[in-house]
Amino acid sequence: MILYDVKIAPSPRRVRIFLAEKNLDVEVIQVNTAEGEHLKEDFLKLNPWATVPVLKLDDGTCISEAIACCRYLEENYPNPPLMGVNPSEKAIISMWEHRMEWDGFLPVAEFLRNTVERFKNRGLTGTLNFNQIPALAERGQKRIAHFHDFLDKRLAESKFVATDKYSIADITAQVSIDFAQRAGVSIPEDKKNILRWHSNVNSRESAKS
Amino acid sequence: MILYDVKIAPSPRRVRIFLAEKNLDVEVIQVNTAEGEHLKEDFLKLNPWATVPVLKLDDGTCISEAIACCRYLEENYPNPPLMGVNPSEKAIISMWEHRMEWDGFLPVAEFLRNTVERFKNRGLTGTLNFNQIPALAERGQKRIAHFHDFLDKRLAESKFVATDKYSIADITAQVSIDFAQRAGVSIPEDKKNILRWHSNVNSRESAKS
């Protein structure tokens, strides 16, 4: 199994944390996105959508999309479970994971990709070029603030994001929070529950991934 | 089990088709989103994100997010399988499903919500109000054209979207295509593979859902 990775990108970090939690050690190949390697023919054969991560299985099958990579790992290496162990838990974790992506991950991408100089004509990932849209950067910022409000309330009533155990929903939230921080948006000081949870998940060995 | 539904909305249709494929008959309650019922306290108790669908389980647990509702149904009623039967198939279907959402479903929402009068200050679903962004409507349109190009190539080499069997990835693609159609963007006449596949999936009993 090979993980095609970009060390500083948030999507592959979700898979790296997942691998670390499962105690799995796989070969990692860095893709040089700064030099456009993800848009070249060799990489597009692995993933026509030009995104990382890609998990290349031993039979040559390529899995892209972070959530799909995690699904493969969970089904093959069920312990420790990170996506639930019965139908209702699996659904609850899936609900929260999807929500963390929509409410956390996407708004940060919306803000960052429409603001930063190096993404000038790369408003979205993928093979198409899109100009930055200033109104979208503004919308992203408002959504991040809302994400902080909502997550703080959730973590006042629950130890972890989806249930009382660490799961893929925490990973997506954690990566979104750190991604926002790198984009210049820190956890507001009054969000005590996020701060507590963040210090908790950050103390896990996997957070270094 | 109760499905909170909006008959004309695309997200709950994914779950309705899923239920029909599983041959499951559940109680359905229509939420009057036109009158803002989804933003009122009673509904927010079921789903604080103010979106449909919501699947209310017999023990009172509420599952929102279409993909999470489908996960619950798949785990409880595995036949016929719509999300794969082994780790690699599950991952491949998850990859394609997630991609159909990003490349198909989201661009149509982006186009529609930023164009149509009735969504004037409802650029996104949820509890927050956002003004329409004209540049985003334009971006959505370009993305839909790209989605048609890409999907047509995929369906030239594969009977269904993810594998040689009908799956949740087909459901998301099918709902996205019909959603686009309702937003005024039809399948281009030269996309023969999409047209063949669409007529195939549309002839299934579940398509009426």
d(CA B55, CA A127): 36
The domain of A11 spans 2-76
Is the bond into A78 cis (omega within 30 degrees of 0)?
no
Note whether B44 contacts A: Cβ–Cβ < 8 A.
no
b/e burial code for range A47-66 (CB count within 10 A of at least 16 → b): bbbbbbbbbbeeeeebbbbb
φ, ψ of residue B119 to 5 degrees: the values are: -105, 25
Does any domain span residue A190?
Answer: yes
Q: Please report the pLDDT score of residue A124 as a whole number.
A: 86
Domain final position from B76, B100, B131: B76
Does any domain span residue B82?
Answer: no
List the 91-130 stretch of A: residues with Cβ below 8 A of B: 91-92, 94-95, 98-99, 103, 123-124, 128, 130
Question: Cβ A142–B130 below 8 Å, yes or no?
Answer: yes
B64 and B100 part of one domain: no
Three state DSSP letters for chain A? CEEEECCCCHHHHHHHHHHHHCCCCCEEEECCHHHCHHHCHHHHHHCCCCCCCEEECCCCCEEECHHHHHHHHHHHCCCCCCCCCCHHHHHHHHHHHHHHHHHHHHHHHHHHHCCCHHHCCECCCCCCCECCCHHHHHHHHHHHHHHHHHHHHHHHHCCCCCCCCCCHHHHHHHHHHHHHHHCCCCCCCCCHHHHHHHHHHHCCHHHHC
A118 and A189 part of one domain: yes
Instruction: Look up the CATH number of the domain holding residue A43.
Output: 3.40.30.10
Does any domain span residue B81?
Answer: no
Beta strands in chain B (DSSP E): 2-5, 27-30, 54-56, 62-64
B120 and B189 part of one domain: yes
A100 and A203 part of one domain: yes
d(CA A71, CA A76): 9
- Structural domains of chain A, count: 2
What are the chain A neighbours of B92 within 8 Å (beta carbons)?
61, 63, 68
- Could you tell me if residue B84 is left (phi over 0), alpha (psi between -120 and 50 degrees) or otherwise beta? left
A158 and A127 part of one domain: yes
Average pLDDT, chain A: 96
Model pLDDT for residues A11-49, shown as the tens digit of each residue: 999 999 999 999 999 999 999 999 999 999 999 999 999
Domain final position from A51, A76, A101: A76
Model pLDDT for residues A42-70, shown as the tens digit of each residue: 999 999 999 999 999 999 999 999 999 99
A48 and A112 part of one domain: no
Nearest CA in chain B to A126: B103
Instruction: Look up the CATH number of the domain holding residue A105.
Output: 1.20.1050.10
Q: Please report the pLDDT score of residue A126 as a whole number.
A: 86
Model pLDDT for residues A128-166, shown as the tens digit of each residue: 888 999 999 999 999 999 999 999 999 999 999 999 999
pLDDT band at residue A121 under the 50/70/90 scheme: confident
Does any domain span residue A82?
Answer: no
Q: What is the mean pLDDT of each run of 10 residues along chain B (209 residues)?
A: 97 98 98 95 97 97 98 98 98 98 95 88 88 93 96 98 98 97 95 98 98
What are the chain B neighbours of A61 within 8 Å (beta carbons)?
88, 92
d(CA A120, CA A136): 13
φ, ψ of residue A58 to 5 degrees: the values are: -65, -25
B131 and B66 part of one domain: no
Model pLDDT for residues A184-194, shown as the tens digit of each residue: 999 999 999 99
A92 and A152 part of one domain: yes
- What mean pLDDT do residues A81-105 have? 98
Contact partners, residue B102, CB within 8 Å, separation at least 6 = none
Q: Which two tokens stand for residue A18?
A: 């997942």
Nearest CA in chain B to A61: B88
Does any domain span residue A81?
Answer: no
